[in-house]
């Protein structure tokens, strides 16, 4: 009975893991991270707050005509390098200080085939062309001005430190500020995640892939999803990790606060109309999905950290982990202490589970006697049902629940998925080292040491865990489960492997102690 329950649990657990992976893959499909294309010639680069002369207009271009669309202008702060397209003032790239790019760029593979197109950009102005861009140093940073002969004026006020950019737009023509331009096709959003709008306690998010390509089940009548409705608060996931084979987690964001005005949404994307005097201002956040930074920009924006299906549990775990990290300034050791704390909270449940299995061991001679009693009936299903009924009566007579040991394992499944989501979502754990070879707790173990240790710990735990049933099946489960979990954890974040390894070690010690001190009770037949 117990062995069959264990097999059922293993099958269901792996089914849940695979199902969850499939669901995440469909909702947030990984996209290939492309190599960066060569920058266009003529790019102007300067370091704030140094001032640069205005960009000269090509004499061959008539007044009122914009320069070539390839012309760009770049500014470097202490944390970001920002690049604009001069033609319309759109921000086409933001590069983090470690080289991580926020948006994909045009790229080709070794065969010369196009693998990605440049993201159309955020900011900028619709139906407007600029001829000049200038920089103005300020006490806290730098302002970048885009102007043309029609009197249009677009300005970005960029701080030396921080990620809150003030954007101002002045025009006599009533043209709109382009907040987020809708990509023309999936190639323009190749490595990007979601686009979303927010309210105080609500986020409506849709993956760019679901907006730009036919759904997986289109043959059943499913349609492409619409972009979220227009709002004052909106944005999109950003951040393309360097060297990653696929991009699923986005640790950065591009966010707009257009309050109190509400943006408009159409086939071009989200844009904002100026007031009756031709003026408007908005705030743009370009930075990490770090809780404190997001809260400083605006409390509703903390919702953009995607904790997954078990988000409520994952948020609580992160708050606890974050609190521990205040006293232990290493995320790896913080995870170990968090694991010990969690294991302590689950101690009563795991004790009950182990004691239940030890008690099942006491029932094994009686179970074998019943099987011998009904063996002569062969495969008669009626007699097998009678045997099961008699066995359950024996359990009931001795106040034993054979399924009682499954509860702790079921409780741990949401814990596992919540931790998985958390370790893949929070910026604080991005590139966070532990010790030695573990340089990034959010990435897989480069040498597979932790997954192997995890498998060994599971093997040891299986060996000391009391089990009943067919010895051949027990032997199979002894090696099958650790092998499966080792294979599964090879591609998991090393922080999650660390958690599960420590969790197993404590569980191994707990099981050993309980077995050593267990005193069986007499079975009343």
Q: Could you tell me whether strands 72-76 and 44-47 are parallel, antiparallel, or unpaired per DSSP bridges?
A: parallel
pLDDT higher at 436 or 402: 436
pLDDT of 377 reads 73
Q: Is 86 exposed, middle or buried (0-12, 13-18, 19+ CB in 10 A)?
A: buried
The answer to whether the predicted template modeling score (pTM) of the entire model surpasses 0.85 is: no
Residue 100 has pLDDT above 50, yes or no: yes
pLDDT tens-digit readout, 419-455: 778 877 889 888 899 998 999 898 889 999 999 999 9
Q: Are 190 and 104 in contact (CB under 8 A)?
A: yes
Work out the angle at residue 350's Cα, subtended by the Cα atoms of residues 348 and 455, and round it to the nearest 5 degrees.
150
Closest CA to 392 of 363, 417, 365, 372: 363
Dist. CA 437–CA 399, nearest whole Å:
51
Give the mean model confidence (pLDDT) for residues 48-56. 37
Roughly what angle, to the nearest 10 degrees, separates helices 471-489 and 449-464?
160
Q: Is 186 exposed, middle or buried (0-12, 13-18, 19+ CB in 10 A)?
A: middle
Share of the chain above pLDDT 70, in %: 81
Dist. CA 338–CA 502, nearest whole Å:
10
pLDDT tens-digit readout, 133-192: 999 999 999 999 999 999 999 999 999 888 999 999 999 999 999 999 999 988 888 888
Closest CA to 238 of 71, 373, 103, 72: 103
pLDDT higher at 470 or 238: 238
Q: Is 324 exposed, middle or buried (0-12, 13-18, 19+ CB in 10 A)?
A: middle
Structure tokens given for 459:
């093997």
Structural domain spans, the chain:
36-305, 326-354+408-517
Closest CA to 431 of 98, 43, 105: 98
Residue 356 has pLDDT above 90, yes or no: no
pLDDT higher at 171 or 70: 171
Q: Is 458 exposed, middle or buried (0-12, 13-18, 19+ CB in 10 A)?
A: buried
Lowest mean pLDDT among 80-89, 140-149, 281-290, 369-378: 369-378
Strand order through the sheet with 177-181: 44-47, 72-76, 80-85, 90-96, 122-123, 177-181, 269-272, 264-266
Dist. CA 97–CA 85, nearest whole Å:
21
Q: Are 92 and 40 in contact (CB under 8 A)?
A: no
Lowest mean pLDDT among 4-18, 248-262, 345-359, 397-411: 4-18
Structure tokens given for 89:
């003032």
3-state SS class at 174:
coil
Q: State the maximum Cα–Cα separation within the chain, in Å, rounded to a whole number.
A: 103
pLDDT of 87 reads 93
Confidence of residue 65 (pLDDT cuts 50, 70, 90): very low
Residue 504 has pLDDT above 70, yes or no: yes
Residue 469 has pLDDT above 70, yes or no: no
Question: What region does 399 belong to: left with phi over 0, alpha with psi -120 to 50, or beta?
Answer: left
DSSP string, 343-364: HHHTHHHHHHHHHHHHHHHHHH
Closest CA to 48 of 159, 207, 183: 159
3-state SS class at 453:
helix
pLDDT of 420 reads 79
pLDDT of 39 reads 34
Q: Are 510 and 353 in contact (CB under 8 A)?
A: no
Dist. CA 126–CA 86, nearest whole Å:
13
pLDDT tens-digit readout, 191-249: 889 999 999 889 999 999 899 887 776 667 678 889 999 999 999 999 988 766 567 78
Give the mean model confidence (pLDDT) for residues 401-408. 68
Q: Which fold has domain 36-305?
A: Beta-galactosidase; Chain A, domain 5 (2.70.98)
Structure tokens given for 449:
């040491």
Residue 64 has pLDDT above 50, yes or no: no
Arithmetic mean of pLDDT over the chain: 81
Dist. CA 393–CA 123, nearest whole Å:
72
Work out the angle at residue 189's Cα, subtended by the Cα atoms of residues 183 and 190, and round it to the nearest 5 degrees.
145
Dist. CA 301–CA 304, nearest whole Å:
6
Give the mean model confidence (pLDDT) for residues 320-327. 93
């Amino acid at each position: 009975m117990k062995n069959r329950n264990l097999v059922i649990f293993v099958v269901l657990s792996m089914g849940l893991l695979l199902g969850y992976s499939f669901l995440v893959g469909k909702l947030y499909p990984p996209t290939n991270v492309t190599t960066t294309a060569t920058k266009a010639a003529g790019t102007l680069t300067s370091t704030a707050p140094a001032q640069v002369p205005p960009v000269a207009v090509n004499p061959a271009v008539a007044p009122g005509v914009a320069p070539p669309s390839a012309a760009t202008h770049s500014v470097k702060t202490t944390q970001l390098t920002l690049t604009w397209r001069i033609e319309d003032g759109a921000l086409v790239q933001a590069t983090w200080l470690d080289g991580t790019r926020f948006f994909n760029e045009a790229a080709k593979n070794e065969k010369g085939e196009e693998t990605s197109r440049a993201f159309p950009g955020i900011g900028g102005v619709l139906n407007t062309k600029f001829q000049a861009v200038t920089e103005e140093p300020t006490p806290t940073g730098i302002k970048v001005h885009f102007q043309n002969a029609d009197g249009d004026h677009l300005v970005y006020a960029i701080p030396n430190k921080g990620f809150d950019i003030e954007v101002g737009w002045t025009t006599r023509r009533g043209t709109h500020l382009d907040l987020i331009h809708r990509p023309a096709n999936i190639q323009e959003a190749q490595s990007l995640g979601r686009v979303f709008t927010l309210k105080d306690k609500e986020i409506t998010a849709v993956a760019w892939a679901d907006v730009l390509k036919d759904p997986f089940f289109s043959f059943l009548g499913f349609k492409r999803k619409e972009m979220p409705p227009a709002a004052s608060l909106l944005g999109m996931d950003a951040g393309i990790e360097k060297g990653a084979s696929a991009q699923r987690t986005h640790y950065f964001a591009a966010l707009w606060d257009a309050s109190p005005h509400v943006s408009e949404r159409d086939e071009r994307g989200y844009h904002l109309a100026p007031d009756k005097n031709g003026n408007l201002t908005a705030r743009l956040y370009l930075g990490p999905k770090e809780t404190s930074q997001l809260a400083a920009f605006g409390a509703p924006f903390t919702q953009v950290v995607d904790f997954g299906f078990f988000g409520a549990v994952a948020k609580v775990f992160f708050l606890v982990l974050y609190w521990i990290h205040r006293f232990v300034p290493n995320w790896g050791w913080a995870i170990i202490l968090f694991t010990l704390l969690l294991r302590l909270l689950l101690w009563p449940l795991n004790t009950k589970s182990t004691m239940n299995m030890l008690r099942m061991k006491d029932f094994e001679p009686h179970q074998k006697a019943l099987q011998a009693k009904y063996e002569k009936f062969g495969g008669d299903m009626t007699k097998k049902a009678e045997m099961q009924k008699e066995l359950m009566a024996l359990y009931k007579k001795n106040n034993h629940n054979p399924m009682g040991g499954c509860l702790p394992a079921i409780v741990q499944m949401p814990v596992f998925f919540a931790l998985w989501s958390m370790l893949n979502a929070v910026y604080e754990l991005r590139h966070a080292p532990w010790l030695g070879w573990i340089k990034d707790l959010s990435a897989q173990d480069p040498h597979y040491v932790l997954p192997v240790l995890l498998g060994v710990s599971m093997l040891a735990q299986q060996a000391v865990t009391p089990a009943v049933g067919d010895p051949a099946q027990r032997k199979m489960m002894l090696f099958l489960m650790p092998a499966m979990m080792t294979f599964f954890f090879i591609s998991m974040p090393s922080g999650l492997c660390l958690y599960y390894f420590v969790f197993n070690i404590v569980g191994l010690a707990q099981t050993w102690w309980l077995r050593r001190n267990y005193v069986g009770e007499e079975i009343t037949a």
